[in-house]
Chain A
Amino acid sequence: MQMQTDLLEEARRQAEICNACRYCEGYCSVFPALHAERAFSDGNLTQLANLCHNCRGCSYACQYTAPHEFNLNLPQALANVRQDSWESFAFPRAAGQAFQKHGVRIAVATVIGFALLFWAIHALPTAGGDGFYAALSHNAMVAIFLPAFLFPLVSIAISLRRYWRHIDAGPFRPAHLVAAFGQAANMRNLKGGHGDGCNFEDEDRFSHARRRAHQAVMYGFLLCFASTSAGTILHYVFDMPAPYGFWSLPKLLGVSGGLLLVVGCAEMIRLKLRADPELGATGAFGGEVAFVGLLGFVGLSGLVLYALGQTAMMPALLAIHLGAVLAFFLLTPFTKMAHGFYRLAALTAEAGRKARVAG
C-alpha cells in the first residue's frame, strides 16, 4: 500500500507553509486538523487530503500562489494525494489505477455493460414475466446484480480499512460516524467557512452552485437507490412484483431521483468545465467527467426507459439502462464515487481527533 512519495512530499512542503501562516483557518476542517500537527506523517497528509473538498477558497485567498516562489496550490496538492490514496487503497489495487483517471476506460466499461445486458436479454429465457421481466426475468436480474452490488461493498470495506490504518485513526466510534453523517448530509463544508460557498466556476467569486449541484446528485442518487430498495421490498416482502404504476413508491422515488441526478450531473459537468483545472488533481479531469457522465446517464436512461417502457424499444432501452447501472456499480470503488466513502471516513476520524483533543 505504498503511496506516491513525490505527491506526499509536495503536500508536506505546502502544509508546512500553511502551518506557519494559518490565514485560512476558518475555511474548512482541513486547517484546524493541519494546525494541530507540527510535523506531517504520510497518514496525516492523507487524512488532510480526504478532508479537503476542493472548494479552492484557500487558493484564491493565498498570497503565496504562483508566480510567488513558494508556489502554493493547496487544493491541487491535496487533490493529488487524495486521488493517489483512492488508487493505492483500492481493492484490487490495479482496478483503482485502471479507472480513477481514465475516462475512456470508464466509457469502455459502460459499453461492455450494455453488451452484456443485450446478450443476457437475447440469450436468457424469460419464463414469460410482465413489463421489464418480459425482456429479462427477475431471477436473471438478481443473478447479475446481486454480485455486482455486493462486490463493491466488500471492495470499499477493504479500502476503508486500509485507509483507517494508514491514517492511524485509532479505535472506531459510532458516535463519530453519526457526527460525520450530520456534516455530510447538509454538506456543511461546501458552504465555506462563511456560508458563501466555494470559489469554483468563476475564480474568486463565492457561489453555492457547486454545493447545490452536489446536493442534487447526492440526493438524486439516494432517491434512485431508495426506489430500487422499495421495489425489492415490495417484491419480496409484500409479494408485489413490478411493473408499478406512477403513483407507486418505487416510481415516485425513481422519477424524482432520476430528474435530480440528470440535472445535478449536467450542472456538475458544466461547473467542472469552467473551473481552473490547475487547482484539481493532475490528470484526473477526464476520469471525473466520465464518471459524472456515467452517473447522469444512469439517471437519464432510467427516465427514458420509464417514458418509453411500453414501446417496442423497451428491450433495447432496458439493456442500455441496466448496462449503465451494472458498469456504475462495478466501478464504484474505482471511480470518483469512492470519494463519498472516504470522505465519511475522514470526517469520522476528524470527529474522533476533536473528541480526543477535547477530552
Chain B
Amino acid sequence: MTSPDIAIIGGGNAALCAAITAAEAGARVLILETAPKPYRGGNSRHTRNFRCMHHGPLGPLVDSYTEDEYLADLMKVTGGKTDETLARLAIRTSEECLPWMEAHGVRFQPSLSGTLSLARTNAFFLGGGKSLVNAYYRTAEALGVAVEYEAAVTHLELDGDRVVRIDYTQHGETQSITPKSVVVASGGFQADTDWLARAWGPAAKNFLIRGTPYNRGVVLADLLDQGVEQVGDPTQCHAVAIDGRAPKFDGGIVTRLDCVPFSIVVNKDAQRFYDEGEDVWPKRYAIWGRLVAAQPDQVGYVIIDAKSLELFMPSVFPPIKADTLEELAARMGLPADALIETVTRFNAACGDTSGFHPTELDGVATTGLEPPKTNWARPITQSPFYGYSLRTGVTFTYLGLKVDESAQCAIGNRLITNLWAAGETMAGSILGQGYLAGFGMTIGTVFGRIAGKEAAAHANAN
C-alpha cells in the first residue's frame, strides 16, 4: 500500500473527528481500525451524549451552561485533579463542536425520557453513538478518507523525536506504512484483562467490560515502553456497578441498574456494606463499581420488594423473583438465614416512611444501623421480592499519553514532531480521576479536531 499523508490509529469518535478535519485540510488520510466493520467505532458506538457549554439555547440544549459552571462540575467530580488549561480548552471549544457535528452528519434529539436532569448540559445523539459513528464514516469516506478494517496496529517505530513507521497486521499479514503524520486515537486498555489484573490484582479478572473488546491498549503500551510521556496510573479507571448477568464485553448501556437507592445491597455473605441511599443515583452510580470490586468474588446482590419495582428505569434482564426471602436467597445463591437476618435488622431500623419521595433526597433514614441507609429507607416486606446481582463494569481506563494544547505527544522533554493523540487515550491529561457524564465525547471531539488540524498542517508542510 502507498503510504498516506496521515495515518489515524483507531476508528472511534476521536479518530473520525481527526480524520475529517485532516481530510478537509487537504491531506490524504488513512484510518486503521482493528475492529471488523460491524464493530467499528470502539466505545464511541455505545455513547448517548456529549457535554456542551452554551450561551442560550443551542440545538437540543435548553438555557445556558457557562464555562465556569462546567469547570466547577468537573472539579467537583475529579476532586480538583484536573489540568485546568486543557479542561478550559475542551469546555470552551465544546460550544462550536455542536454545529460542527451537525454539519458533519450527526443528528441530535431532546434529552431521553428518564434523563431530564441532563437536558441543559448534555446533547443527545439521535440513535446513539453508533449513528454518530456511521454518519462520520459516511462523511469521511465522501472526503476521500481510506478506511482499513481489521487492521491492528502493533508498533510505531520511533527514531528520536519522529515516528518513522507504523506496523499493523491485517488478515494474518504484517504491513508497514510510513505516513508523514500519525494520530493515536485507540482508546484505553480496559479490554486487556491481564493488564487490568496486573494493576488491580486478580480481582480484576471478574470485572465486566462495558464497551468494546478491541481497546486492549496495544499502541499505548508500545509507546509507553519506548518512553513516550505518560499520565495517570493504571489503577485508575471508570467503573460502575452493572447487572451481573451482562456479557463480558460490549453489554453497553442496557446493563445499567438504577434500583440501588430503593434497595439494600448485600455481598455474597448476605451482609450490607455501604449506604445505598447516600445520594441520588446519577451522582452515586460511579462509586458502586469500586464498592462491589472490594467485596468477596467482586459481586453484590440488590434486594427490593414489590413496592419499589416500578420506581426505576427497566433494565435489560428481568429481576429474579420469589414469594419469600428464603426462596429468593436460594435462587440467588445467598445464605438464606443470613439474608433474612440482614433484612430483619434493616427493617427494624427503618422509621417513619411517610416522607418517602423517590426522586429527591427524602431523609427517610435508618436509625442505629451500620452502615446506615440515609435516604429512601423503607422496610423490605412486601412480597414478591426481587433481586439482581451486581458486578463491576469497567467503562474505560485513565492511564494514557500526555499531550499539550496541540494534542501533541512528547518524549523526554521534547515534542514528538509528528505524533498526536486524541480521545480516551489522552483523557488522563485532563482528568486525573473521576468522570463527568458526557465529557469523554467532548474530549474526543475537541482534541480529535485539534489533532487532525495539526497533523494535516505538518503533513502539508513536509
Chain A interface (Cβ within 8 Å of chain B)?
A: 16-17, 19-27, 32, 35, 38, 57-58, 60-70, 193-194, 196, 204-205
Contacts and interface: CB of A to CB of B under 8 A. Distances in A.
B126 interface: yes
B46 to A, nearest CB: 6
B361 interface: no
A194 B60 CA distance: 12
Contact of A25 (B112, B129, B138): B112
A26 B128 CA distance: 10
A25 B253 contact: no
The 3 closest A-B pairs by CB, nearest first: A61-B127, A23-B128, A26-B109
Interface string B297-339: 0000000000000100111101000000000000000000000
Given A35-B113, A64-B252, A205-B138, A194 B126 contact: yes
A61 B256 contact: no
B316 A17 contact: yes
B126 A193 contact: yes
B127 A58 contact: yes
A56 B195 CA distance: 39
B110 interface: yes
Contacts of A64: 252, 254
B48 A23 contact: yes
Given A60-B134, A63-B46, 7 more contacts: A20-B254, A23-B131, A26-B127, A61-B126, A67-B39, A193-B109, A194-B107
A26 B134 contact: no
Interface in B37-62: 38-39, 45-46, 48
Contacts of B125: 23
A19 B125 CA distance: 17
Contacts of A66: 38
Interface residues of B, number: 32
A54 to B, nearest CB: 16
A23 B44 CA distance: 13
Nearest to B131: A61
B109 A63 contact: no
Contacts of A32: 113
Contact of A61 (B114, B128, B252): B128
A21 B314 CA distance: 9
27 contacts: A16-B314, A16-B316, A16-B318, A20-B254, A20-B256, A20-B314, A20-B315, A22-B114, A24-B126, A24-B127, A24-B128, A25-B109, A25-B113, A26-B109, A26-B110, A26-B127, A27-B127, A60-B130, A60-B134, A61-B126, A63-B46, A64-B252, A70-B254, A70-B316, A194-B107, A194-B109, A194-B126
B250 interface: yes
